[in-house]
Amino acid sequence: MIDSVELQNLQEKAKNIRKNIIEVVYNAASGHPGGSLSIADILSVLYFKELNIDVNNPKDENRDRVVLSKGHCAPALYSALAEKGFLPKEDLKTVRKLNSYLQGHPDMKHTNGVDMTSGSLGQGLSIANGMALAGKLDNKDYRVYCICGDGEIQEGQIWEAAMSSSHYKLDNICVIVDNNNLQIDGSVDNVMNPYPIDKKFESFGFNVVVIDGHNINEIIDAFEKARQTKGKPTAIIARTTKGKGVSYMENQAGWHGKAPKEEEYKIAMEELGM
Amino acid sequence: MDFENKKATRQSYGEALVELGKENKDVVVLDADLAGATKTNMFAKEFPKRFFDMGIAEQDMVATAAGFSTCGKIPFASTFAVFATGRAYDQIRNSICYPNLNVKICATHCGITVGEDGATHQMLEDINLMRGLPNMTVISPADDVEARWAVKEAAKVNGPVYIRFGRAATPVIHETDGKLELGKAIQFGEGTDATVFATGIMVAEALKAKEELEKEGINIRVVDIHTIKPIDSEMIIKCAKETKKLISIEEHSIIGGLGSAVAEVLVENCPAKLTRMGIKDTFGKSGNASELLKYFGLTSKEIIEEVKK
């Protein structure tokens, strides 16, 4: 457990990440706010409590790694990285624009703090496994976090990779499934039912933790359980709300990949406490 | 030239990987349940901790290799060419070539000489797929010497490399690798009656044709294009200017492979007629390797006929 000051701080960071997300998507006039907002609390805990990373040495070979397998939620990743200090906040206004280093999907070659390029769904866990295997080979104790969408796990490669994580006993792997229940064409169970997600990962040999993905204490606790689990990878199934924090975006599939107009932007920023 | 001294380039690959593994501890090898066929089992035996069998899951294997490379490893990922470049194309494109990662895709069982397994296993479009990718280097070794050299050379390139190896034993045409240089084609002979641009196992067929034609007073040159990308434009332009006839030959589709690469150089620099020999927009079929080469018209006999046309 953490004290109330730290809890408040992490909640504050999550709120700032959400504001940044809205800024990014509004300024870009395109992008993916829904699934970005749903992982804001997870990113807050990752970047401000969990990860062993150094803003001044982003390529440190002993650092923990994050693979945002659901790469379309780049606004959330950029927002967390800016909040952490990996990139200037004013650069967030350039996301998706010609000649900006901040591409529509994460580009590891041009953005400090981005450990892997992503965008084509379903590939992140395999990549995270490669990083984790390299760590084991070199006797390094860094950990690798892979964030997937609940729609994304419809990709077969995720399950190839899940088999590998477990086969190679990668206890330095922690998969986080952002279970916001929505994808572009509707609710995940209507489009192509991935449930029961927890039992699927369990049967693939994972230690599974199901949490409320907006509850800071539960997120912290889940990462702690993952770290303490030896001999097998951990999957955190985070129950979340797509569009969390902006009333009119919450639980609306339509806000998967759409930018707010000026009036909507103002409402969102007011709701987030600007 | 002794065309009876033969060795399969996949065997050369397996042996070269072991040598490379001894020299460089960052080399790791991944396979997708075909280690016995791709010959990565030799590396696995020597360096079990650095070998990873990923099971029958090529997409996972290729993306795992990408992850390894971000941590300073030099992964060599191997399976049959049809699965490596076809099934895992998106992984190669988005997770290796776009971030320009240091991953080597070393595919065996290219072309029709896979033989009896037939069309599903005979990859005829891999050069086409791989050469279209930005940042990718494409090497198609002609023999044992080039295959070994390619493995060592690939490890020196800091970026993605695709190497195409074959299943069937093929003549050893080089004595040493002294003249081999990435992106530089090798010219055999000075003949001006025709140039045969060849790659992979077709180089030996072209050299056989060259010897036969010499007996009849027809002098051709053979240009061994082991590096398909970057292609040796200078050599192609030189030969177009110096010889009367231009032919390309590859154990690959005539669409998008060596012939297309040569044609692209020609049209932009010195337009000339080029005859593309290869698999003519069709799939392979079952049969033994030498029967298939005859069936598809990829032997010295057909080259001789084409030169004389």
Interface predicted TM-score (ipTM): 0.97
- The reply to whether A161 touches chain B by the CB within 8 Å rule is yes
Q: B147 and B25, same structural domain?
A: yes
Angle at B103 between CA B101 and CA B108, to 5 degrees: 150
Reported pTM: 0.97
Res. B52 pLDDT band, cuts 50 70 90: very high
Nearest to B127 by CA among B276, B269, B234: B276
Burial, B248: exposed, middle or buried (Cβ in 10 Å; 0-12, 13-18, 19+)? buried
Total residues found in chain A within this entry: 274
Do B60 and A160 make contact, defined as CB atoms within 8 angstroms?
Answer: yes
What is the structure's pLDDT at B1? 86
Q: Are B159 and B250 members of one domain? A: no
CA angle A137/A207/A148 to nearest 5° reads 80
Residue-wise pLDDT for B169-215, tens only, equals: 999 999 999 889 999 999 999 999 999 999 999 999 999 999 999 99
Domain end call among B171, B206, B223 = B171
Q: How many domains does chain B have?
A: 2
pLDDT band at B126 (very low <50, low <70, confident <90, very high): very high
Q: What is the pLDDT of residues A64-110, one digit of tens each?
A: 999 999 999 999 999 999 999 999 999 999 999 999 999 999 999 99
Check which CATH number belongs to the domain holding B53 and give it.
3.40.50.970
Residue of A nearest to B59 (CA): A157
Mutation site, A72, A123, A168, interface B, largest B CB count within 10 A:
A123
d(CA A185, CA A187): 7
Claim to verify: residue B139 and residue B95 sit in the same structural domain: yes
pLDDT band with cut points at 50, 70 and 90 for residue B30? very high
In the structure encoding, which two tokens stand for residue B192, read together? 């001006």
- Mean per-residue pLDDT for B104-132? 97
Q: What is the pLDDT of residue B72?
A: 98
Say yes or no: B43 and B85 in one domain.
Answer: yes
What count of CB pairs under 8 Å joins A to B?
107
Are B207 and B117 found together in one domain?
A: no
Residue type at position B300: S
**B12 and B95 inside one domain:** yes
Whether B58 is catalytic: yes
Residue B121 falls within a domain, yes or no?
A: yes
- Kindly report the nearest CA distance between residue A3 and chain B, in angstroms: 36
Using DSSP's 3-state secondary structure scheme, residue B83 falls into helix
Given B15, B58, B146, B250, the catalytic residue: B58
Mean pLDDT in chain B?
A: 98
Say yes or no for a CB contact (<8 Å) between A160 and B91: no
**Domain-located, residue B162:** yes
Choose the final residue of a domain: B171, B196, B213.
B171
B220 and B161 in a single domain? The answer is no
Pair (B57, B114) in one structural domain: yes
CB contact under 8 A, A109 and B100: yes
pLDDT of residue A1: 73
pLDDT value of residue B242? 98
- pLDDT for the residue numbered B248: 98
Q: State which residues form the domain around A47.
A: 4-271
For residue B179, is it within any domain?
no
Interface subset of B 13-72, CB within 8 angstroms of A: 28, 49-50, 52, 54-55, 57, 59-72
Question: Does B181 reside within a domain?
Answer: no
Instruction: For residue A47, give the amino acid letter.
Output: Y
Give the mean pLDDT of B63-79: 98
B184 Rama sector, left if φ>0, alpha if ψ -120 to 50, beta otherwise: beta
CATH number at residue B276: 3.40.50.920
Q: Do A126 and B72 touch (CB under 8 A)?
A: no
Structural domain that includes position B190: 186-308
Give me the number of domains chain A comprises: 1
Question: What's the CATH code of the domain at A16?
Answer: 3.40.50.970
Strand, coil or helix: A262: helix
The low-confidence residues of chain A, meaning pLDDT below 50, are none
